[in-house]
Amino acid sequence: MPFTISPWNSRLPLFLFGTALCLLGPGVLPAFSQASPDRDYKLVVDVDLVSVLASVTTAEGALAAGLTRNRFRLFENGIPQEIALFARESERALRLQLLFDSSLSITTELGSQQEAAMDFLRAVVSPVDRVSILQVSENVVELVRETSRPKAMAKALRSIRPGGGTSLYDAVYLASQALSSSRGRRVILIVSDGTDTTSKVSMEECLRQVLASEAVVYVLLVQPIKSEAGRNLAGERSMIYLTRETGGKTFSVASPDALRESFARIGDALRTQYLLGYYPRHKREPERFRRIRIEVDLAGAQVRARSGYYATAGERLSRKGNPRRDRKGKRVVHEGARRTTKGH
């Protein structure tokens, strides 16, 4: 459970603070945050808190905003859990990883994709939010890291150029890994056709890492070819599976207008999310999947939230500690499994 001491100033004897640290036990490092210019501090320790982002739609399909904590019920493996944390979208900072597939098959409308993404970021991102943008081809290149500055995000998006191969699962894995230590609402937004050609991890390994990071995945599924005969249906199904299991949604995009509309719908969803947290009433077993279910007291409503989690995800990939830079100075945080000169 959270342990809080606030405020702490010169009137609190130093030995009490030392005693508090001892009582917390080994292996627990408290987080300090400065509360005022007078050097008041808050000591906060969270142990085993499980967080879940949820979106609620009414029976008519509209997003349900303004719901209160007492309207929600949360279960883990069928056992009711006490909701210890509840916050609406406006109360929590957004931590967004935007993954842009730059493979040749989906970049026929690259310019309109870049501009639509920039309009979306301008509408959604506030000064307290942080956005990272990754270009996904054979390699995963970090174009900008944790910024809220419109000029930095626009520069990153406009620097994207078509390339060969796609390490999509690797990129999602690394993005969720980066979000694991973030506070706030963790979201991954993918612009892709779902095809993966050069990843080192499987879809299941990718999903396990995303669930462990507590991130929600949204996908803009670009379909430059309308006929099913020319599309990668297996890749599309994998994206639908990924978003369903993490509590997000997949939007099929076949035109610039559809792309902008889908970005707008994702923006609406982000503005009406609910963050719920609880402390599981059981001992966490690392290899056992724990299924989460959320119910809401609203007739005919549907809740989208991640399906569950593993206590640990293992580590199949990690970002390079000292990433090399490509010829244009971009940070290559990961290299794909094999080299290819072909698109999808």
Number of domains observed in the structure of the chain: 2
Above 50 in pLDDT, residue 9?
no
Whether residue 53 sits in one domain with residue 31:
no
Q: What is the mean pLDDT of the chain?
A: 81
For 137-194, the pLDDT digits (tens) are 999 999 999 999 999 999 999 999 888 889 999 999 999 999 998 888 999 999 999 9
The verdict on 74 and 154 lying in the same domain is yes
User: What percent of the chain is modeled with pLDDT above 90?
Assistant: 59
Q: Are residues 264 and 210 in the same domain?
A: yes
For residues 128 and 125, give the distance between their C-alpha atoms in angstroms, rounded to a whole number: 8
**What average pLDDT does range 76-105 have in this prediction?**
90
Instruction: Give residue 61's region: left, alpha or beta (phi > 0; psi -120 to 50).
Output: left
Specify whether 225 is located in the same domain as 336.
Answer: yes
Say if residue 26 is in the same domain as residue 149: no
Please indicate, yes or no, whether residues 90 and 229 belong to a single structural domain of this protein: yes
Residue 213 shares a structural domain with residue 309: yes
Instruction: Tell me the whole-structure pTM to 2 decimals.
Output: 0.79
Give me the pLDDT at residue 276, please.
Answer: 95
Which of 99-103, 107-111, 168-172, 241-245 comes out lowest in average pLDDT?
107-111
Banded model confidence at residue 285, pLDDT cuts 50, 70, 90: low
Kindly report, residue by residue over 309-331, the tens digit of the pLDDT: 986 655 666 655 555 556 555 65
Q: Can you give the pLDDT at residue 323?
A: 56
Two structure tokens written together for 85: 């944390």
Question: 115 and 255: one domain?
Answer: yes
In terms of domains, do 153 and 105 share one? yes
| Same domain assignment for residues 257 and 227 | yes
Question: In this structure, what DSSP letter does residue 66 have?
Answer: S
- DSSP H or E segment with residue 12: none
Residues 100 and 32 in one domain: no
CA 34/CA 38 separation, integer angstroms: 9
Lowest-pLDDT choice from 46-50, 228-232, 324-328: 324-328
What's the CATH code of the domain at 132?
3.40.50.410
**Overall average pLDDT of the 256-263 stretch:** 92
- Residues 116, 17 within the same domain: no
- Full residue range of the structural domain in which residue 284 is found: 48-344
The whole-angstrom separation of Cα 335 and Cα 200 is 9
Give SS3 for 21: helix
When comparing pLDDT for 318 and 125, which is higher? 125
Q: What is the mean pLDDT of residues 27-53?
A: 50
Averaged over 8-24, what is the pLDDT? 43
According to the model, what pLDDT value does residue 141 have? 93
